């Protein structure tokens, strides 16, 4: 927790790209006293940038970019506000506008900026090259002096990028140097370790690769993603050990895959294979039978459907084998029907739209509405597609363009209302402005008179008590009484009953009243001073109100003469043009995603047809064997 006292002095601006983050500290202004103060440019920037950060951290990137652009247009943010520039560049990268980002980064790098901001800008530029596949340029920046002095999170990101680039170049020793410093308790570190392990195995460095994969089995992390990655690492290690003939190690690794995890079907199949290869068919069979009970649209389950009856066959259980092959055939037929249904569904228009998340700001590139797909079996087949980089990027574009379509449709609906509102404003202002202009002069005069009177009153109140005028320090009841008593005293002698005794009584009453007034006179004077101050305060508010009305009259006068109506009308065609372009782009993206999905499903269809044919052949083979066995028995008997 940061103490409140220090917070206004420093706003830590964390600019992240994707999951990784790096921070730039931006000093805005010193601590401020309470009470209204004039809004300076730095305070205004503090509020405006705070709003942008709110959108940024809740992943409303489109809104964040819009706020930055609006503030830029209003010249609140300009080329001097490096933090806003850097964030806009970062948001452009995330939003798939690398060209715009590069212009900003280059502009920043030409300027005399803080060394840390400079290093961050270089890192952004490197990330941009990396994202676009310009690995050589990315590596040159990441390995140079320009990126020195980065904060810890940025430094980890730099090392990860370098490790990935070196991995792609098969320089595993170099990649390891960078990877070693990224802790595996971070998601990024874990994924990089996994990638490195798999890349090394593929490049023929099986021992080193296995070591990395096995290090993940002991790594911490209890999130769903961490556990899924651990399963995946165990599966990859187990499959590599099977390939290398280390069946005991393979079994040990595969047993670490959770039985209810997302890779459990693959692990069951692989563990069965390890047992089978070790000659232990009896221990392979239950594993495959367990796999067979799972979702038959899963590729590993489809493999197990043939392996289980084959194991029965080898163990001499021909009736069970026959039943197994028949069951496999029926499951393949069902899966083929599922694939056909999935193909039909994908070919329908609106398929891609159904994949969109309900929350427009939901992060992630993957289709969100996967429950229906999982129920229909479609998900098992499209898994590979959805996890591919190319598809996820296209889907992200589709999501963003769809968001643009919603935004454009919103403006299309709002524009007529805005135009109508403008017309009503104009009519209303034209009707009332002359009268308001006329009467405001009178109000100004009254308020000025009031100010003068209030000030005069306040100035005339002495800050001491003078009992020569008791009515000035008397409260209302005392003042009434004083007027009566004083009046009687003045007229005494001319009124009936002006006896000596009454004169003494009147003097006593007058004396008592004077004593009473004097007794509370200090308090009364203070109250008078306070009331006068309140009056002055009220008058100040009135003066502010008069100023506000004058300002509103000026604004309203400008409104009656401005061209906002014309400018609003000119947006109509622009909105329609962008709407049409949006629809065309969405159609093109959907078509492209549909084609990829259909291609994958058709290849699955072909594979399933082959498996079905194999199942039928196996059924025929067992039936033939059985018939020839019967014949032989009958012949011999």
Q: How far is the CB of 294 from another protein (least distance, A)?
A: 12
- Smallest distance, another protein to C-beta of residue 384, A: 9
Question: What is d(CA 167, CA 177) in angstroms, rounded to the nearest whole number?
Answer: 11
Dihedral pair phi/psi, residue 143, rounded to 5°: -95, 0
Q: Provide, rounded to whole angstroms, the least separation between the CB of residue 139 and another protein.
A: 11
Question: By C-beta, is 489 or 564 nearer to another protein?
Answer: 564
Q: How far is the CB of 559 from another protein (least distance, A)?
A: 5
Closest approach, Cβ 464 to another protein, in A, equals 33
Residue 346 Cβ vs another protein, minimum distance, rounded to whole Å: 17
What is the rounded distance in angstroms from the CA atom of residue 451 to the CA atom of residue 457?
Answer: 10
Nearer to another protein among residue 62 and residue 327 (C-beta): 62
* CB distance 303 to 269 below 8 Å: yes
Q: Which is nearer to another protein, 592 or 594 (CB)?
A: 592
Of 291 and 619, which CB lies nearer to another protein in the complex structure? 291
Give SS3 for 353: helix
Residue 491 has, within 13 A of its CA and on its CB side, a CA count of: 9
Long-range contacts at 508-516 (CB < 8 A, ≥ 24 apart): 509/485, 510/485, 510/486, 513/470, 513/478, 513/481, 513/482, 513/485, 514/467, 514/470, 516/478
> Within 10 Å of residue 204's Cβ, how many Cβ atoms?
9
Q: Cβ(275)–Cβ(284) under 8 Å? A: yes
Nearer to another protein by Cβ, of 125 and 525: the residue is 125
Provide the minimum distance between the beta carbon of 340 and another protein in the complex, in angstroms, as a whole number: 21
Contact 292, 304 (CB under 8 A): yes
Residue 281: which H helix or E strand, with range?
helix 281-292
| Residue nearer to another protein on the CB measure, 214 or 232 | 232
In terms of CB distance, is 247 or 600 closer to another protein?
Answer: 600
Q: Residue 118: what are its φ and ψ, rounded to 5°?
A: -60, -45
DSSP state of 133: T
- Give whichever of 560 and 632 is closer to another protein, judged by the CB atom: 560
The smaller minimum CB distance to another protein, of residues 36 and 493, is found at: 36
Gyration radius from the chain CA atoms: 42
> Taking the complex as a whole, how short is the minimal distance between the CB of residue 210 and another protein, in angstroms?
18
Rank residues 109 and 575 by Cβ distance to another protein and give the closer one: 575
Give me the least distance between CB of 549 and another protein, in Å please.
7
Q: Are the C-beta atoms of residues 381 and 604 closer than 8 Å to each other?
A: yes
For residues 184, 187, 192, 198, the Cα torsion angle rounded to the nearest 10 degrees is 90
Task: Report, in Å, the least distance between residue 12 CB and another protein.
Answer: 6
* CB neighbours of residue 368 within 10 Å: 14
What are the residues facing 17 on neighbouring strands? 20
- Complex with another protein: residue 320 or 572, whichever CB lies closer: 572
3-state SS, residue 12: strand
Cβ atoms 90, 15 nearer than 8 A: yes
Helix H or strand E segment including 565: helix 564-569
Chain centroid, CA 390 distance in Å: 23
Instruction: Compute the least distance from the CB of residue 111 to another protein, in Å.
Output: 24
Half-sphere exposure of residue 228, counting CA atoms within 13 Å on the CB side?
6
- Residues 340, 342, 345: CA angle, nearest 5 degrees: 110
């Amino acid at each position: 927790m940061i103490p409140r006292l220090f917070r206004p002095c420093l706003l830590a601006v964390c600019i992240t790209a994707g999951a990784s983050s790096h921070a730039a500290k931006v000093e805005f202004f010193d601590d401020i006293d309470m009470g209204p103060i004039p809004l300076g440019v730095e305070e205004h920037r503090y509020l405006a940038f705070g709003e942008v950060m709110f959108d940024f951290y809740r992943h409303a990137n489109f809104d964040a970019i819009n706020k930055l652009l609006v503030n830029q247009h209003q010249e609140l943010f300009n080329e001097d506000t490096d933090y806003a520039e850097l964030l806009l560049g970062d948001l452009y990268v995330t939003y798939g506008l690398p060209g715009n980002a590069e212009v900003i980064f280059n502009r920043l790098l030409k300027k005399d900026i803080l060394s840390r901001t400079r290093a961050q800008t270089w890192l952004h530029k490197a990330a941009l090259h990396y994202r676009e596949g310009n690995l050589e340029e990315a590596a040159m920046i990441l390995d140079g002096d320009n990126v020195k002095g980065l904060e810890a999170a940025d430094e980890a990101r730099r090392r990860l990028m370098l490790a990935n680039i070196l991995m792609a170049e098969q320089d595993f020793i170099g990649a390891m140097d960078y990877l070693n410093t990224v802790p595996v308790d971070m998601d990024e570190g874990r994924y990089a370790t996994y990638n490195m392990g798999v890349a090394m195995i593929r490049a023929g460095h099986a021992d080193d690769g296995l070591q990395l994969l096995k290090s993940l089995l002991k790594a911490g992390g209890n999130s769903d993603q961490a556990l899924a990655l651990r399963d995946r690492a165990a599966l990859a290690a187990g499959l590599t050990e099977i390939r290398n003939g280390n069946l005991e190690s393979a079994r040990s690794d595969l047993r670490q895959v959770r039985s209810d995890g997302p890779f459990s079907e693959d692990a069951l199949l692989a563990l069965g294979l390890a047992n089978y290869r070790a000659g232990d068919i009896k221990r392979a069979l239950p594993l495959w039978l367990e796999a067979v009970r799972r979702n038959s649209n899963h590729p590993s389950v489809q493999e197990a459907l043939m392996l289980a009856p084959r194991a029965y066959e080898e163990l001499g259980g021909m009736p069970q084998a026959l039943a197994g092959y028949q069951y496999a055939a029926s499951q393949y037929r069902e899966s083929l029907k599922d694939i056909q249904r999935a193909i039909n569904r994908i070919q329908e228009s609106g398929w891609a739209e159904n994949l969109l998340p309900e929350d427009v700001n939901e992060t992630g590139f993957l289709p969100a509405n996967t429950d229906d797909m999982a129920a229909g079996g479609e998900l098992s087949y499209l898994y590979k597609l959805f996890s591919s980089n190319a598809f996820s990027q296209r889907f992200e574009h589709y999501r963003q363009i769809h968001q643009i379509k919603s935004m454009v449709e919103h403006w299309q609906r709002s524009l007529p209302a805005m135009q109508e509102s403008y017309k009503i404003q104009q009519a209303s202002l034209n009707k009332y402005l002359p009268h308001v202009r006329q009467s405001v002069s009178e109000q100004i005069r009254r308020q000025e008179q009031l100010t003068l009177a209030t000030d005069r009153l306040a100035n005339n109140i002495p800050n001491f008590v003078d009992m020569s005028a008791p009515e000035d320090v008397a409260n209302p009841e005392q003042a009434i009484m004083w007027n009566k008593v004083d009046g009687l005293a003045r007229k005494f002698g001319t009124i009936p009953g002006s006896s000596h005794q009454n004169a003494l009584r009147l003097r006593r009453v007058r004396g008592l009243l004077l004593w009473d007034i004097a007794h509370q006179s200090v308090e009364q004077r203070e109250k008078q001073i306070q009331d006068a101050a309140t009056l002055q305060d009220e008058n100040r508010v009135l003066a502010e109100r008069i100023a506000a009305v004058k300002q509103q009259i000026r604004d309203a006068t400008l409104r009656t003469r401005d061209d906002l109506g014309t400018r609003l009308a000119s947006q109509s065609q622009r909105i329609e043009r962008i709407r049409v372009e949006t629809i065309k782009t969405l159609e093109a993206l959907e078509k492209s995603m549909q084609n990829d999905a259909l291609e994958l499903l058709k290849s699955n269809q072909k594979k399933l047809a082959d498996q079905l044919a194999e199942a039928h052949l196996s059924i025929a083979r067992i039936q033939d064997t059985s018939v020839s066995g019967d014949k032989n028995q009958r012949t011999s008997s």
